[in-house]
Structure 1
Amino acid sequence: MERLASFSNDPFDKPPCRGCSSYLSEPYVKCAECGPPPFLLCLQCFTRGFEYKKHQSDHTYEIMTSDFPVLDPNWTAQEEMSLLEAVMDCGFGNWQDVANQMCTKSKEECEKHYMKHFINNPLFASTLLNLKQAEEVQHQETAIPFHPADDPPRPTFDSLLSRDMAGYMPARADFVEEFDNYAEWDLRDIDFVEDDSDILHALKIAVVDIYHSRLKERQRRKKIIRDHGLINLRKFQILERRYPKEVQDLYETMRRFARILGPVEHDKFIESHALEFELRREIKRLQEYRAAGITNFCSARTYDHLKKSRDEERLKRTMLSEVLQYIQDSSACQQWLSRQADIDSGLTPTVPVPSTTGRRSAPPLNLTGLPGTEKLNEKEKELCQMVRLVPGAYLEYKAALVNECNKQGGLRLAQARALIKIDVNKTRKIYDFLIREGYITKA
């Protein structure tokens, strides 16, 4: 059995017993195998062996109680929580009211225990001091080298740099327009008077609370700007350019998470991804060497040199194939040559290259050496050349259409298109050719 603390004094705060539906009071039993939600039983139902749905009486269980000491052998955990709640309700120093609310300890016992364990406890004091020092160190080590003492640039009003800095005024260390700049307008007509009803007074208090939350959001955004050094935007962008293109894209994508992480954690996150990118690129390069049978870096340098030469040769062949695309059109070829001359001389090309997606008749297909060519007659060869269809595919389409025509006693163009799934224009040309040559008939 395990004793666990339940820090609520009010039994109505606990869920009811699953057996008798009565409000639970400590100690009570919690099934360790059922849940969530937790399956809780009072001691009476537990002793009767109450079972419900999946819960069985032989399940392991836990005794839920706060009747055990934490800081002082004479104070239970429930009394510790009662003391903290009483001090919160009555205020520090009102020990008589605290003792009256607790009902189990005297005024002197409450004061002595609270001062000893919650005020003068060296363990708590050292822990709070360490947390405060760690927080100060974290604020001092900002990721971007920007501190409040830095002098941001002072651009002229309404200039490009001023707009980049969101209207920041270095002399006042503030912005021309605040975030949610008109938040104060909701308070301009509010006046608290004694004749207000309770509902009206509560509504006015709610409006003030809303205004307070909007001010907190304004300060939160200012803190993000200050901690991450976003005031001096140009300096921030220069620091970003030290990363390769892929990491810069990641930086831009993950910038929205900077509001969640601190400046140091955010930059560590980006740096770790930059390191991962470099490692992956190096591993890929080494794997390429290994696939090429290279086992030392001297051979790797020779391989890189030869690979660069091969890439340049491949680029030249690509340029030659591009020229061959325009060789049949003299004007397009002349424009392409003029453009390349401008590029080689370092000038901006002024002659646009015509798009290769324009409608131009493709050259006839060369059937030399293609399988099935010997089975075609001259008219069929001419059709395959003009339609740019290999003989083997044409023979399959022809056989399918002829068989379907024999079954149906005729064939429509729509049936031919449903039978052979190719370009509709090619299908029409094949269909018309077979009709013209008498291989098939129209339905």
Structure 2
Amino acid sequence: MRSLFLTSALVAVLPLAAIAQSTGESPQLPEPNRGLLPDMTIPRPAQWGDAKPTVPEGFEVTAIATGLKIPRQTLILPNGDILVAEGKGQGAPALRPKDMIAGIIKAWGKSPEPGGNRLTLLRDADGNGEYEVQTVFAENLNSPYGLAFVNGSIYVANQDAVVRFPYTEGQTEAAGPPEVLTRLPSAINHHWTKSMAASADGRFLYVGIGSNSNITERGINAEEDRAMVWEIDATTGAHRPYATGIRNPTALTIQPGTDALWAVANERDEIGPDLVPDYLTSVQQGGFYGWPYSYWGQNVDVRVQPQNPDKVASAITPDYALGAHVAALGVDFSNDAMGPQFAEGAFVGMHGSWNRNEPVGYKVVFVPFQNGAPAGEPVDFVSGFLVDAGKTRGRPVGVTVDPRGALIVADDLSNTIWRVAPVKP
């Protein structure tokens, strides 16, 4: 089936920007380009058949779990078992006709599976890379997404609360329903996903909470406690804002050997196909990252009224541009077991665009680091999801590095978990 194209000179209010989107530490941003409707190309689902994703020479990719119910994020437990969060959140009702149109069209590029609202456990008992056990660890959750393991407990960020399960190593099923640690904003969920990471010492959980709108069109009151990262005491559930002005922090991770929190974030829409870059950034305690008043540091978004020059002046420029509308939904740091070329850096799962003529994303990239910071252009690590502009076989979400030497990739279109590992000599 052909994808849907909504592009015409009739919907363009300003001419298209001549500068293509860019990536890296210092992207060159085009001028905003507003239209009545964004350009839209939604690749339709295609089957994998005998095909597999493309990985670099010296690596192999295997489907270690199939038939899942919208796998989002994964967690490696201390014994090597993998937990998979499966869920499909409830989005906010559309405010404008174009929101309704966009919502319908975006649904065409997603799996029709309603979502599992559960955790699935995968086990490779003999360590050969084949996960012969696939069982439901817990169910009756509420659109689970973020996962963390701290001091003998499994923490799950549902769309409305962080909950925890006590865990005994080797367990294949939760002993009972979880305990609620703290409630999360969920009255309206323009962005329902709640990402999560644990601090290096296990004392705190960091939870990313997306905005309730593109640029506050629901009113500023609807954004209370949103577009930010919370810091939550893992024992008591007490919480506070850790960093603000991040439109949708979709995945969080701690940089190895440090206490530094990093995030990938999805930026705002409707100012052109090459704005605004989604990004990878370290997250500073007390930092403000611009939303809604500005983007990529102090570039003012004139659509937001009233303006706040003081907030704009304080806005932090992110560390690394991933490209506009790539929809980064996963991030994790690499290790030496992934080989010298991919030992230092971060893997980023890109779910893929919906509001560009030419689709972008639909792959996992590796962002090289040097001296603890991004350095250089992203490298395709897992690709081959996108067949052409009209079809895609999969859409990557969470990426998790197995300390033993593999990258675990959740694909929520084909409902598959992929494992990418160096070929054994």
Q: Classify the TM-score, shorter chain.
A: under 0.3
Greater helix percent: which structure?
A: 1
Considering only CA atoms, is the larger Rg found in Structure 1 or Structure 2? 1
More relative contact order, 1 or 2 (CA 8 Å, 6+ apart) = 2
TM superposition score normalised by structure 1: 0.17
TM-score when normalising by structure 2: 0.18
More strand by share: 2
